[in-house]
Structure 1
Amino acid sequence: MKILHTSDWHVGKVLKGRSRTDEHIAVLAQVVAIAREESPDLVIVAGDLYDTAAPTPDATRLVTRALSALRGTGAAVVAIGGNHDNGAALDALRPWADAAGITLRGSVRDSAAEHVLTGTTEGGERWRLVALPFLSQRYAVRAVEMYELSAAEAVQTYADHMGRLFAKLTEDFDEAGVVNLITAHLTVVGARTGGGERDAHTVMGYAVPASVFPTGTHYVALGHLHRAQQVLGPCHIRYSGSPLAIDFGEEENAPSVAVVTVGAGQAARVRDVPVTSAVGLRTVRGTLEQLAALPATDDWLRVYVRETPRAGLREEVQDLLPRALEVRVDPEMLPTADARNRAAQRAGRSPRELFGDYLDSVGHGDDGVRELFDELMEEASS
């Protein structure tokens, strides 16, 4: 059978105040086009469909249309909730999803049967999929245990809990002639982060060893880490990565979806199919003169400017580079810690003098900023 594995769409993402809706429309259209070309039997979306737990109506419309279009290719479609998603809100969409022929699992439920899905391809190949949405540590470990255990013991308890959960859900993976699959949204020990994931849910407290997946599993389709990669383990474990770089920390990633060919008697073979529709993210450095000499680009830019800090510097950079979303002074241009720590005596000194000392200490001794401060002081005093 053939599987298209994607995850971490993060629809609704705003980058430095810039909406990425147009990029998401293009990216998801390309994912659907890949599905039409590849004709998979099953599409798995392994969590983080949205960037926020309170998506806008436009974001919801885009996700539901993308899922419907994927179903329209003839593939079975299964999507699970990630840590950025609102599991309850996704579950509220299940009546729509059921009517559309889409399987949606937003949050973990008490019944194991809710998370063990079965199907048969047009070619007659049977498959079984364990679909486990993101499960936070506070729900995976009883509060009384968290209060009584050390941090290391709590981590182990979470990993043990996840191991027991997967063991329960995969009890039937020894059945012959069935392709056994798992999809989950979590961090596996040994995997590399993509540079932009939030630390709160990627630290070791949320990581599990690859050994939680049984050897009888033919393919594990993971979401959560945005870098496409295979993880060493007892079976074929893979992150598809995000189909677009979510922020500047991920500019070196190669966005893609995974196309997997696997059978009950055939090891999984994976091809990463590039997704090229999103606008690139790029970091540039230089003086104003050097930045002015850069060729025009359609990429979104993060700029480290090698100039002394002064009022209006950001605007000068954006005049030169209209695609600059983030402008920072190069850290090498900032004063050392010793210079910043030389505090002036405050007794008997005016606010203007103290503010001037502060500007000098951070290398921002610009007369324009002092004049603005004077205007604010005069306005506040009058």
Structure 2
Amino acid sequence: MKALHTSDWHLGRTLGRRSRDDEFDAVLAEITAIADSVQPDLIVHSGDLFDTYRPAHKDVLRAMRCLDALARIAPTVVLGGNHDSPELFDLLGYVCTLRPDADRGRLHFVHSRGDTEPGTVLDFDSRDGRERVRLAALPYVHPNRYLHLFPGFGTTEGAYAAGLRDLQDDLLARLLDGYNPGRDVLMFTAHQYVGGSVPSYSERMWEAREPYATAATALPRVAYCALGHIHKPQPVGSGRLPARYAGSPLQMDFGESEETKSVTLVDAAPGRRTLVTPHTLHSGRRLARFHGTLEELAAAAAQYRDVYLKTVIRSEEPLPRLGQRVAELVPDAVLVDVEEECAATRATVLTGADPDGNGHPDVTTAFSAYLADAGTPGQSADTVVAAFADLLNTPDSVLPHSPAEHLLTEAIATPWTGAPRSGSETTS
């Protein structure tokens, strides 16, 4: 049995204001060509088909054209990710039921709204009919919507991971119900963060944090775990369990500039070890970063052909027409950002970098060190620190009292001590 695993297409993603439609068309055609070449028995997309809950119509059309082509090659399952709309998946699934041809029922959308227990088990026969693939599919479960699903686990961050383990165990039990060890190949797919995996930082990082992580040891013991959510292609766990993030097909931002993108071919059979082979994708334009002088950029210009390029140019004095000069040096690159790191304009912040009388470090120095640790480029960091120091060292202005405040202060200072008036009081 062969399966093709892809994930995290994020159709509709842009780079700043730059459309990447041509790249998406090229890489989806490449994935389809790989599927046609290897002729898998099953194709699994492990989530984040789109980049937003409300994708543009052109992106929905792009997705359906590619998924239709894949479904004609092999049954195709698309899992709902954290970027995908369950309602849109319902619509796309309904549209698939209207097809009159023989491929009807070969494209499946699996999602979770959060109001019903997520996850399902799907069965597919291999091309030759001798094997059966049993796939347990667990779509993304949002951390903010799981309390009613896991009422016995509490409300801590760790309860989310405990609840996911419970869902996985339930799916595994359903996989094993009716399992034929001489014929069946068991697979599991999920859109979630597994502890120890390395993110690309183009993900929504608040959804990929260790307190919400599922332990790799808690993944179901099956022939292969097809994972989505993390954009860096990578195996998961110690290697004893065949589990892998297929990763995104394009470099989504400059945090992924060193990553090689791929889809994964899975070769499995009852009673033998699973073979996992990444197939490199070549269609996406590379994202690159450069940090150095103009002379160094000129010497390295040949390696920046047909890339998106982000530059930080070091200089001793301000460089006029810097953007134009960089563009002339790398005419075959698409410049995304040009920043200057100039020694002459580098701000010198404060003079009291020594600890104060209590032995505490200067707060501005600590803030500057924080920006450096966060990777903020030099000139940007200098500007921010200078503004911070200016605000910190500017004395608070004394605003004049308002008339009401003056009257209140006077009344407090001279409380009324007059004798009570004679006669009875009338209340109304």
2:347 to 321, 330, 335: 335
Q: Are 1:235 and 2:246 counterparts?
A: no
Q: Are 1:169 and 2:171 counterparts?
A: yes
Q: Are 1:96 and 2:101 counterparts?
A: no
Give the equivalent residue in structure 2 for 1:160.
Answer: 162
Q: Are 1:38 and 2:46 counterparts?
A: no
Name the amino acid aligned to 2:193: T
Partner SS for 1:93: helix
Name the amino acid aligned to 1:92: L
**Native 8 Å contact 1:108 1:132 kept in 2:** no
C-alpha change, 1:139 and 1:326, in structure 2 (3 Å) is: same
Partner SS for 1:91: helix
**Native 8 Å contact 2:112 2:118 kept in 1:** no
Q: Any idea what the Cα deviations from partners look like across 1:197-246, whole Å, max 9, x if unmatched?
A: 2212111233111233232x111100111111111266321111111111
Q: Are 1:181 and 2:190 counterparts?
A: no
Higher RCO, Cα 8 Å, sep 6+ = 1
The total of aligned residue pairs comes to 341
Q: What's the CA shift for 1:144?
A: 11
Q: What's the CA shift for 1:311?
A: 8.0
User: What 5-or-longer segments of structure 2 have no aligned partner?
Assistant: 352-362, 366-382, 388-428
Give the equivalent residue in structure 2 for 1:47.
Answer: 47
Q: What's the CA shift for 1:306?
A: 1.3
Q: Are 1:60 and 2:60 counterparts?
A: yes
Partner SS for 2:273: strand
Structural RMSD (CA): 3.0
Give the equivalent residue in structure 2 for 1:297.
Answer: 305
Q: Any idea what the Cα deviations from partners look like across 1:64-95, whole Å, max 9, x if unmatched?
A: 1110111122x110001111222221222111
Q: Are 1:226 and 2:225 counterparts?
A: no
Name the amino acid aligned to 1:127: V
Q: What's the CA shift for 1:110?
A: 6.5
Q: What's the CA shift for 1:120?
A: 0.9
**Native 8 Å contact 1:97 1:104 kept in 2:** no
Give the equivalent residue in structure 2 for 1:205.
Answer: 211
CA distance in 1, matches of 2:309, 2:298: 14
Q: Any idea what the Cα deviations from partners look like across 1:310-335, whole Å, max 9, x if unmatched?
A: 78644543454451112233498843
C-alpha change, 1:336 and 1:38, in structure 2 (3 Å) is: farther
Q: What's the CA shift for 1:112?
A: 6.4
1:325 to 319, 331, 336: 336
Q: What's the CA shift for 1:248?
A: 0.7
Please state which structure has a larger fraction of its residues in strand.
1
User: What is the TM-score when the length of structure 1 is the normalising length?
Assistant: 0.80
**Native 8 Å contact 2:118 2:138 kept in 1:** no
CA distance in 1, matches of 2:174, 2:84: 29
**Native 8 Å contact 1:4 1:258 kept in 2:** yes
1:265 to 259, 263, 271: 271
Give the equivalent residue in structure 2 for 1:86.
Answer: 85
Q: What's the CA shift for 1:97?
A: 2.9
Between the aligned residues of both structures, percent identity stands at 34
1:283 to 264, 280, 289: 289
C-alpha change, 1:265 and 1:318, in structure 2 (3 Å) is: same
User: What 5-or-longer segments of structure 1 have no aligned partner?
Assistant: 343-357, 363-382
**Native 8 Å contact 2:111 2:118 kept in 1:** no
Name the amino acid aligned to 1:81: G
**Native 8 Å contact 1:288 1:317 kept in 2:** yes
